[in-house]
Chain A
Amino acid sequence: MTAPTAAGCAAPDQAAPLPASLDLEKETVITGLVKAESGEAVPGAYVRLLDATGEFTAEVVTSPAGQFRFFAAPGDWTLRALSRHGNGDTAVTAARGINEVTVTVAA
């Protein structure tokens, strides 16, 4: 069966290309990498998107290359990453289109 792509709520593959149907005039994409202090990408990290009040909005697991991606709205957000190598936070002010962010984790 082919269910509609939006039927579920699980996080999609973080390494997959952006869907061709995606309208970047409308979507606010926050994407980037989780890195260790050494600069190495961290796969399997849990990245949480927190809103301007610090409330949880969404969470994904980074791809084998350490990538993550959210579909948010313009405004202030915090990315918080949890991993076996430690945790880290990065603030971002997002605008429509693609916003690239790196989150560094440390023990």
Chain B
Amino acid sequence: MSRDTALVSAEWAEKNIDAPGVVFVEVDEDTSAYDTGHIAGAIKLDWRTDLQDPVRRDFVNKAQFEALLSERGIANDDTVILYGGNNNWFAAYAYWYFKLYGHRDVKLLDGGRKKWELDARPLVTDAVTRPATQYVAQEPDTSIRAFRDEVVAAIGTRNLVDVRSPDEYAGRLLAPAHLPQEQAQRAGHVPTAISVPWSKAANEDGTFKSDDELRKIYADAGLDDSRETIAYCRIGERSSHTWFVLQELLGHRNVKNYDGSWTEYGSLVGVPVALGDTPGEAGPNSSVGEA
């Protein structure tokens, strides 16, 4: 994968709004932004109600994904262009998800909603409906999804990349700072995880930095690209953004997103946790890095 196959610019998107076989999809956790204005012809996916199982803590299964895409009118051979708010966090999560279920041609709109709005490109409020399809998904590709036991086993042996803000990594905050901080789980990070906030990979208008800049960021942070990598955050959407950078833009292999992320890991009984600004050591007990 590379930038040419995984990413489109806002300029390209505006020129291809009506292109046959191209479907724009806005993905957000709160879809009220879509309702106040969206790219012409774009359908919406709600991260929480469309992509998460309503009962179990997991995302929708293959049959549920097929039903969702069929109902929204996305066909197997459509080119899907994903975009959203929050610097494309949820769009990147959906991208990972489309890949997990084997969609052939899916791309992210560089900069997402923010870049589009800051460029003053047109948004419309028209209702969008597409004729239903018979979407067929592949079996989930778990080579890009990490589960908790793999994360514990990766301590000290694989690259673990914590993409939350430095204060969340160190344990000074429990959630991103636009959310209240009272949470059930413990603060800190997985021992030996390096801290590379997702935001390092993005310009302030939400577009991705250049490949050269991105390579330097992860090399300087000590990411060994000959080893497997697991990225995590709090609930798995910011780490989808970093997964996208590492695997889809930079072409690293064996990169997994741990969608359980800190809300799962920080609630596990008996696992090691590191506090402070340094990665900490591999070992059976909690370790405290230097503050």
A residues near B, CB below 8 A? 1, 3, 5-13, 19, 21-23, 26-27, 44, 46, 48-49, 51, 53, 55-61, 69-73, 80, 82-84
Binding-face segment, B8-16, B69-77, B114-122, B221-229: B114-122
**Is A71 a contact of B165 with CB atoms below 8 Å?**
no
B residues in contact (CB < 8 Å) with A: 28-30, 32-33, 47-49, 52, 54, 85-87, 89-90, 114, 117-118, 120, 165-167, 172-173, 175-183, 197, 199, 204-205, 233-235, 237-238, 263
Chain A interface main SS type: loop
A19 and B120: CB pair below 8 A? no
Bound CA–CA A72/B205 (angstroms)? 22
State how many angstroms separate the Cβ of B219 from the closest Cβ of chain A: 19
- CB contacts (< 8 Å) of B180 on chain A: these are 5-6, 19, 21-22, 27, 71
Quote the shortest CB–CB distance from A62 to chain B (angstroms): 12
**Least distance between B148 CB and chain A CB atoms (Å):** 18
Q: Answer whether A48 and B204 are a contact pair too, CB < 8 Å, given A9-B238, A84-B117.
A: yes
A12 touching B181, Cβ below 8 Å: no
Interface of B is mostly: loop
Least Cβ distance of B259 to chain A in Å? 12
A61 x B179 contact (CB < 8 A): no
Contacts A9-B235, A11-B86; A51 near B167 (Cβ below 8 A)? yes
Whether B179 contacts A6 by the Cβ 8 Å rule is yes
Choose among A10, A19, A44, A51 the residue that contacts B165 (Cβ–Cβ < 8 A). Answer: A51
- Bound-state CA distance A72–B180 (Å) is 8
| Known contacts A12-B30, A70-B177, A71-B177; A55 and B89 CB within 8 A of each other | no
B168, closest chain A residue (CB): A57
Are A7 and B172 touching (Cβ within 8 A)?
Answer: no
Q: Which of chain A's residues have a CB closer than 8 A to the CB of B54?
A: 1
7 A-B pairs (CB sep. < 8 Å): A6-B180, A7-B48, A9-B233, A10-B86, A55-B165, A58-B177, A59-B86
CA distance A73 to B86 in the complex (A): 21
Chain A's nearest CB lies how many Å from the CB of B92?
12
Known: A11-B85, A57-B176, A73-B173; 5 extra A-B contacts, CB below 8 A, are A58-B177, A71-B181, A73-B167, A73-B181, A80-B204
